[in-house]
Amino acid sequence: MPAPLALTMGDPAGIGGELTVLAWSALRATGPVFVALDDPKRLGMRARTVGSAAEAVSCFATALPVLPVRLPVRSRPGQPDVANAPAVIASIEQAVDLALRGEAAAVVTNPISKAVLYRAGFAYPGHTEFLSAMTGGATPVMMLASPELRVVPVTVHVALRNALATLDTAAIVTAARITHAALARDFGIARPRLAIAGLNPHAGEGGALGTEEVTIIGPALAALRAEGFDVSGPWPPDTMFTPAARAGYDAAICMYHDQALIPLKTLAMDRGVNVTLGLPIVRTSPDHGTAFDIAGAGRADPASLIAALRLAADLAKRRSGGP
């Protein structure tokens, strides 16, 4: 029997708890099986405290299995409290530990509030960097995946001005290598095809509208082709996400955050999944935030979390040698 997935609590004032219960209700008969790293008191009557991740398998059909992470103060929907930040961090740490020890097949993270964690002294920009530090310091790459499109931004959570200033050939090559390896190992694509986005309008028009395609992106394409990768580009960013264009590649390597996430969220807002590539464990998360504004209002949509759980199970199965 496969190990269960480990699902973190996220910010307890957000919609993570609601999503956890709704996802369990939707998946209890079919799986994938997961265990919540959370406070049982806030998850309702269907939550059942378990002593190990393995116990989740036997009770999942009848109860939501929870490995308890106690909250210091009671959570209130839409009202984040910095006093609960240590429990949020502990939930992530315990989930990663379970995955590293093979007791969990993968880690799925509910949304956190970075601002709340920063006020508690959290030293990392977000989940991705924290996970990298806990798993040996590998270079992490963020992919957003949906049935319609996979995108990888080379620069991520930095101001656009800084993203343009720091973009370089080495970063593009590194992101493409890690993406290529993940598509082959975890997604089961024998010969991945990568589309490399341009940066400027019309991909620079041969230097007339910007030179980065010539001085930064072109050399990255040349280096990747020399290594035997199937890459194309630089693509004009305004035309590379049409249905016809998407049929020609398996993932798009984009130059900055919004260039990647706008088309993904436009096409699949409720089915997009955040996947961290380059780690020794599988990690996914829903492609949305804490939604403090609707927490506790009965409006939370579990579709993205369900997609994240299913994708995590699929990736973990392939990584372990399954079909």
* Model confidence pLDDT, tens digit, residues 116-136: 999 999 998 888 889 999 999
Quick: pLDDT tens for 153-169: 999 888 999 999 999 99
User: Are 155 and 60 found together in one domain?
Assistant: no
C-alpha span between 97 and 20 (Å, rounded) = 20
Residue 79: DSSP 8-state: B
Task: Answer yes or no: is pLDDT of 1 > 80.
Answer: no
User: Are 8 and 132 found together in one domain?
Assistant: yes
User: Are 254 and 308 found together in one domain?
Assistant: no
pLDDT for 118 equals 94
- Provide the number of structural domains found in the chain: 2
* Model confidence, pTM: 0.93
User: Are 131 and 143 found together in one domain?
Assistant: no
C-alpha span between 32 and 24 (Å, rounded) = 9
C-alpha span between 124 and 109 (Å, rounded) = 16
User: Are 21 and 106 found together in one domain?
Assistant: yes
Task: Please report, for residues 6, 68, 176, 220, the alpha-carbon distance to residue 94 in angstroms, rounded to integers and kept in the order given.
Answer: 9, 10, 30, 38
C-alpha span between 70 and 91 (Å, rounded) = 9
User: Are 143 and 19 found together in one domain?
Assistant: no
pLDDT for 11 equals 96
pLDDT for 126 equals 83
The owner of tokens 């990647």 is 260
| Single-letter amino acid, residue 223 | A
Beta bridge partners of 168: none
Task: Answer yes or no: is pLDDT of 243 > 90.
Answer: yes
CATH number at residue 19: 3.40.718.10
User: Are 143 and 41 found together in one domain?
Assistant: no
Average pLDDT over residues 261-272: 92
312: domain range?
1-138+283-323
Average pLDDT over residues 138-160: 93
User: Are 90 and 172 found together in one domain?
Assistant: no
pLDDT for 164 equals 92
* Average pLDDT over the chain, rounded to an integer: 95
Quick: pLDDT tens for 251-262: 999 999 999 999
User: Are 31 and 128 found together in one domain?
Assistant: yes
User: Are 192 and 214 found together in one domain?
Assistant: yes
User: Are 15 and 134 found together in one domain?
Assistant: yes
Q: In this structure, are residues 7 and 309 in contact, taking their beta carbons and an 8 Å threshold? A: yes
pLDDT for 116 equals 94
Residue 76: DSSP 8-state: B
Task: Answer yes or no: is pLDDT of 66 > 90.
Answer: yes
> Going by DSSP bridges, is the β-strand pair 150-153/141-145 parallel, antiparallel, or unpaired?
antiparallel
User: Are 115 and 149 found together in one domain?
Assistant: no
C-alpha span between 126 and 257 (Å, rounded) = 14
